Amino acid sequence: MTLGSTTRKAAILGIGRSAFEKKSAEPIEALANDAIWSALNDAGLDIDDIDGVITFSLADTIPATGIATLLGMPRVGYMSTLDGGGNVVVSAVGYAAAAVQAGLASRILVVRALKARTGKRLGGTDEPEHLNTSGIRQFTGPYGWTAYLHTFSLVARRYMAEYDIGEEKMHGGLRAVVQTSRLYSSANPRAIMRDLISDDDYANSPLLSDPLRRADCCLESDGACALVVGFPDSADSSPVEIVAFREGGGPLPGGDLLAFLEWQDWSKIYANYVAEELYASAGIGPSDIDFAMLYDCFSSNILSQLEGFRFCGDGEAIDFVLEGNLSPGHSLPVNPHGGLLSEAYNHGLNGVLEAYDQLRGRSEGIQLDRAQTCLVASGGVGVGSAMILAR
Amino acid sequence: MINSDSRSVPEFLKPTPDLITEAFWDGLKEHRLLIQRCSQCAKFQFPPLPACRSCLSSLEWVDSKGTGTLYTWTVVRRATHSILGTWVPYVLAIIRMDEGVLFCSHVMGETPESLRADMPVRVHFVLAENGYVFPVFRVDELSDTDSRGDK
């Protein structure tokens, strides 16, 4: 799908969020309502204007038809519940744009409602499914590879081996990613974690599964995000357009996001495989990107994506981060809301919402000076999705 | 730690074999590390498949040489599930076998500090409390690819 070559491009028409909390007393349906009605209000639309819903389903969720029913949508059209997590966050928005441009729907709600802390948890928990030992996990689960923490630790260690990166350098690189996240979130009134992290704070954060510490793990939290995708109103002279969208990964990604033994080069991730086509589709390159929203389920994934999307060379991400490039006013601000590490774990859709606010110049946190073109990416190892938003 | 030699009965979660993988687990009971090889193109395959993904020909079970290198690892220091509480710390490892396929396993008898990427390892078999035999790995002192160069 080359959205870049289409004359009329779909755009994000408005966004909305519930409150982000570590533990919400509200039911997931109430959180979804808060986000959706606020997005409709932001877009100046009513429920009659909507004829599609896209959401995704890893862990806690409300399926698309459940959302249509919750809202009492009179026009139940394009309904899609994607099977996946971080890999399909941008896909949900990209598919909405593709569906609108293909005439399958006129305006689509993209929603992610989840109680990732008080509902189904993805992290270190006693959820029975973490002890799954069937399918590929019969070869991984028995040895205690039971969490995404282990997955990303194994990937990070191979990255270190591939580029001869020692413990100390990796520690410094991951610390800088975490500290930058908190620098941004400290100014974001929605962020759950707003305290700055000192070098000592980071060093004292418990090592969970080396090289990753607790501070390198994203939050587990409750909340909902929603946005509307459609053709922009002719009165809007400067809409936030979805300029290009790509989904994919490398050969043999495996059928399980958590555990895989088929993936061949663990020092690379999905970003290495989708970047070229994404940029070609948009007709731009990495140097044209003003800021990036990268998927920070773990801080190490930021390093992988910086290289995969060619913001720096292979094995150079730590130097790139230590040079301060991710900070406000520097060459590539990343996650100005604080990301999943500090704002909230709304499974990545909160990053898309912040991208929209930045492009509109109305961020509640640190508003970036240059915010015309943004890369939004989501994904873990084998597969993921990415798009270019521009205004 | 569970990877040390001091623990007499290693713990592993019980696997759930299926129609494609039963032969692998049965082989382990005889201390055989079985992987698949294509009857036509001779490509090695693990995890098991119903047919060769390159040429769709049938796959046969063959004995792995049992040697490989440490591709990546992590020392898990906090249990992510209460059942794993007695395991920590443990070395979760990915081994690249000389046949090219990857295994998830444990590296036994090493301190975390002594582990190096791409160090040669060799399979050993351990009978777990749950009745299954599991392949684990030890540094291969006999390897002629040993990076210490003292073969």
Interface mutation vs chain B, best among A121, A139, A174, A265, most B CBs within 10 Å: A139
pLDDT of residue B83: 87
Task: Give residue ranges of B with CB < 8 Å to any A CB.
Answer: 12-18, 21, 46-47, 71-84, 87, 90, 92, 94, 101-106, 112, 117-118, 132, 134
Residues of B in contact with A161 (CB under 8 A): 72, 117-118
pLDDT for the residue numbered B5: 53
Q: What residues have CB less than 8 Å from B7, skipping those under 6 apart?
A: none
Q: Which of A158, A160, A210 lies closest to B71 in CB terms?
A: A158
* Per-residue pLDDT, A390: 98
Q: Which residues of B99-129 are buried (b: 16+ CB within 10 A; e: fewer)?
A: bebbbbbbbbebebeebebebbbbbeeeebe
Q: Which of A78, A95, A279, A295 is catalytic?
A: A295
Average confidence (pLDDT) over A217-233 = 95
Q: To the nearest whole number, what is the mean pLDDT of chain A?
A: 95
Contact B94 A266 (CB under 8 A): yes
The sign one gets for the Cα dihedral A307, A308, A313, A314 is positive
Q: Residue A336: name the closest of A318, A322, A362, A354 by CA.
A: A354
Residue A109 in contact with residue A226, Cβ under 8 Å?
A: yes
If you average pLDDT over residues A321-341, what whole number do you get? 97
SS3 state at A172: helix
Summarised one tens digit per residue, pLDDT across range A272-300 is 999 999 999 999 999 999 999 999 999 99
Which of A203-207, A255-259, B94-98 shows the lowest per-residue confidence on average (mean pLDDT)?
Answer: A255-259
> Which pLDDT band holds residue A59 (cuts at 50, 70, 90)?
confident
Closest CA to A123 of B84, B88, B75, B80: B80
What's the pLDDT score for residue A130?
A: 82
- How many contacts does A have with B, using Cβ atoms within 8 A? 117
Confidence at residue B136, expressed as pLDDT on a 0 to 100 scale: 96
Contact call for residues A368 and A188 (beta carbons, < 8 A) = no
Q: How far is A337 from chain B (nearest CA, A)?
A: 28
What pLDDT does residue B8 have?
A: 41
What number is the average pLDDT over the span A102-129?
Answer: 86
Q: What pLDDT, on the 0 to 100 scale, is given for residue A57?
A: 87
pLDDT of res. A121: 79
With a cut of 60, say whether residue A355 has pLDDT above it.
Answer: yes
> Closest chain A residue to B80 measured between Cα atoms?
A124
A295 flagged as catalytic: yes
Q: Is the Cβ–Cβ distance between B58 and B28 less than 8 Å?
A: no
Residue of A nearest to B100 (CA): A264
Q: Which two tokens stand for residue B2?
A: 């569970």
Q: Please provide the DSSP assignment of A240-281 as one string.
A: EEEEEEEEEE-S---S-SS--S----TT--HHHHHHHHHHHH
Query: CA of B12, closest CA in chain A: separation in Å?
Result: 5
The proportion of chain A whose per-residue pLDDT surpasses 90, expressed as a percent, equals 87
Q: ipTM strictly over 0.85?
A: yes
- The token duo for A338 is 């604080």
Residue A138: list chain B partners with CB under 8 A.
15-18, 21
pLDDT at A351 over 90: yes
pLDDT confidence bin for B10, thresholds 50/70/90: low
Instruction: Assign residue B30 a region (left: φ > 0; alpha: ψ between -120 and 50; beta: otherwise).
Output: alpha
> What is the DSSP secondary structure assignment for residue A62, as one 8-state letter?
-
- B96 secondary structure, DSSP code: E
Contact partners, residue A38, CB within 8 Å, separation at least 6: A15, A16, A17, A18, A226
Between strands A222-230 and A11-17, the pairing is antiparallel
Confidence of residue A58 (pLDDT cuts 50, 70, 90): confident
The Cα-based distances of B119 to A32, B89, B93, B102, B134 in angstroms read: 51, 21, 12, 15, 21
Nearest CA in chain B to A141: B13
Is the pLDDT at B32 greater than 50? The verdict is: yes
pLDDT recorded at residue A1: 47
Across the range A125-138, mean pLDDT stands at 86
C-beta neighbour count of A247 within 10 angstroms: 22
Task: Please check the confidence at residue A222 and state whether its pLDDT lies above 80.
Answer: yes
